[in-house]
Structure 1
Amino acid sequence: MTSNAKANPADIMPLVNVMARLRDPDTGCPWDIRQDFASIAPYTIEEAYEVADAIERNDMPALKDELGDLLLQVAFHSRMAEQAGQFTIQDVIDGVTEKMIRRHPHIFGDGISREHGHAQWESIKAAERAERDTDGSALAGVAKALPALLRAEKIQKRAARTGFDWPDTRGVIAKIEEDLQEVHDAASPEDHHEEIGDLLFAVVNLARHLKVDAETALRSANAKFEARFRIMEDIAGEKFNALSLDEKEQLWQRAKHRLLQQRPVS
């Protein structure tokens, strides 16, 4: 941090004041005034994904812009809460600051060494959950609104802490093979729905055991497919849709080869 940054700390108040103007019942923006927590929540989720996308593309100007949009969401929710007499944005800032200090006694207090800090972090989080939640399950508090892949991973991690987990990947792979067979044997749309869900859950479990982030891995697969498909369209031009499946497969292999050639040599 430069001396100039120390002398001029970040000031969130201009944004807070803008949000207050927008939400003013008499002179504010009609659209902003109409919103509530539920209507804004999808935008908050979308902005978080756009932050992740900018990071994945290593686009720093976009990241700066998307972080601003995400910060706007914090200001928006906080303003609505303040108008409802619940809390202010200062309460939000104070709360998360106190929580970070509380969960890092190895940095801010007399806790254990920094090397064991993560284990202590998890222990403190678990104690906070136990104090806050009446639900005594090990799975309590895993937000239902999380993306399904992420929620599956979090549920599995919670279950694993109780000892309910495969000892290695062999059991997980066998489970995937079993679930894949059950998809093949499914006889109705309802059965397909259930068995595909079981298969996806098992694949997330394998990713967890291999220390692969399932959401990131699927995003990468999406990007790879999109890149190859666009090359196919570019090669074929306007006649792409009229090509046979075999011809499209040949284009797919050409696109795959072209992308492999473009990979940087390590």
Structure 2
Amino acid sequence: MNSRKEQLDAFNRLLDIMDDLREKCPWDRKQTLQSLRHLTIEETYELADAILDNDLEEIKKELGDVLLHIVFYSKIGSEKEAFDIADVANSICDKLIERHPHIYGDVEVSNEEEVKQNWEKIKLKEGKKSVLEGVPKSLPALVKSSRIQEKVAGVGFDWEEPHQVWDKVQEELSELNEEIKNNDSEKIEKEFGDVLFSMINYARFINVNPENALEKTNKKFINRFQYLEKEAKKIGKPLSDMSLAEMDIIWEQSKKFFK
């Protein structure tokens, strides 16, 4: 692997290239903090996909794209005389030192949970009025739900045992089923949301990342359905002309290849 000097030289090279692009490239010159925002979100999702696929070469490339955006934002910040890349790096360094008193101070912790609890307490001391202030409003609902539950658990608002959470899941399912019988669409939606929220909470107790779990299922379904499409094409019969029983035979075959 590269030495620390080589790593710093590579980063310095990126900063020099960013200076050139901002000065000489019409597209790069016109970009703003606002215009880059949606592109950054897209790059982050591409990185997330590469991580799920465990494609190390692709992860390296996507990390480069994300790093470029960080440097880009910092360059724009320096032009506004608001902050530069050094300020960005020092800011996160200061935060990490402040929030890890068990390493840079005299606080003692015995496990990961105590680290998380200290983290949330420190945030409140920094002036946050709520532990939930750190949950971005624009997060997708599933990820937001998971983060909300992690945050409140960090200050002790949590179930004690996994079976208690599972009982809550069963309770919410029962309430959903009752509203389905009553055919009240507004209450059905509410109870369905409660079921999802409780399932996401249960996932935390059994050490499952719900976002990753669902995305892996999405990918599995896509692979199996595309297998179905290819096999249907081989026999020259459109899916729309096939019976569900015919499709199910091929679907079962797909499970041998995509588990």
TM-score of the superposed pair, with normalisation by structure 2? 0.82
Rounded Cα–Cα distance in structure 2 between residues aligned with 1:199 and 1:68:
39
- What is the correspondence of 1:63-102 to structure 2 with a 5 Å cutoff? 63-102=59-98
Contact 1:23-1:32 at 8 Å conserved across structures: yes
Which residue type is aligned with residue 108 of structure 2?
Answer: I
The residue aligned with 2:213 is 217
The partner residue of 2:43 within 40, 47, 56 is 47
Rounded Cα–Cα distance in structure 2 between residues aligned with 1:226 and 1:147:
21
Which residue type is aligned with residue 132 of structure 2?
Answer: L
Q: Say yes or no: does 1:232 pair with 2:228.
A: yes
The partner residue of 1:105 within 101, 114, 129 is 101
What is the CA distance between 1:193 and its match in structure 2? 4.3
The partner residue of 2:148 within 129, 144, 155 is 155
Rounded Cα–Cα distance in structure 1 between residues aligned with 2:143 and 2:96:
23
- What is the correspondence of 1:1-266 to structure 2 with a 5 Å cutoff? 5-11=3-9, 12-24=11-23, 27-29=24-26, 31-112=27-108, 115-116=110-111, 119-120=114-115, 122-133=117-128, 136-160=129-153, 161-165=155-159, 167=161, 168-181=164-177, 184-185=180-181, 187=183, 190-191=186-187, 193-237=189-233, 238-241=236-239, 242-259=241-258
SS class of match (2:173):
helix
Residues 120-161 of structure 1: per-residue CA shift (max 9 Å, x gap):
35414432344232xx23422211122221210121223333
Rounded Cα–Cα distance in structure 2 between residues aligned with 1:103 and 1:117:
13
SS class of match (2:132):
coil
How many percent of aligned residue pairs carry the same amino acid? Answer: 34
- CA pair 83-193 structure 1, distance change in 2 beyond 3 A: farther
TM-score of the superposed pair, with normalisation by structure 1? 0.81
Name stretches of at least 5 consecutive residues in structure 2 with no aligned partner.
none
Contact 2:146-2:201 at 8 Å conserved across structures: yes
The one of the two structures with greater contact order (alpha-carbon pairs below 8 A, sep at least 6) is 2
Rounded Cα–Cα distance in structure 1 between residues aligned with 2:195 and 2:43:
30
What is the CA distance between 1:64 and its match in structure 2? 1.1
Rounded Cα–Cα distance in structure 1 between residues aligned with 2:16 and 2:178:
57
Which residue type is aligned with residue 119 of structure 1?
Answer: E
What number of residue pairs does the alignment pair up? 252
Name stretches of at least 5 consecutive residues in structure 1 with no aligned partner.
261-266
Rounded Cα–Cα distance in structure 2 between residues aligned with 1:186 and 1:37:
49
Q: CA RMSD in A?
A: 2.8
What is the CA distance between 1:198 and its match in structure 2? 2.9
Residues 191-238 of structure 1: per-residue CA shift (max 9 Å, x gap):
554444333222212212222110010011111111211221222214
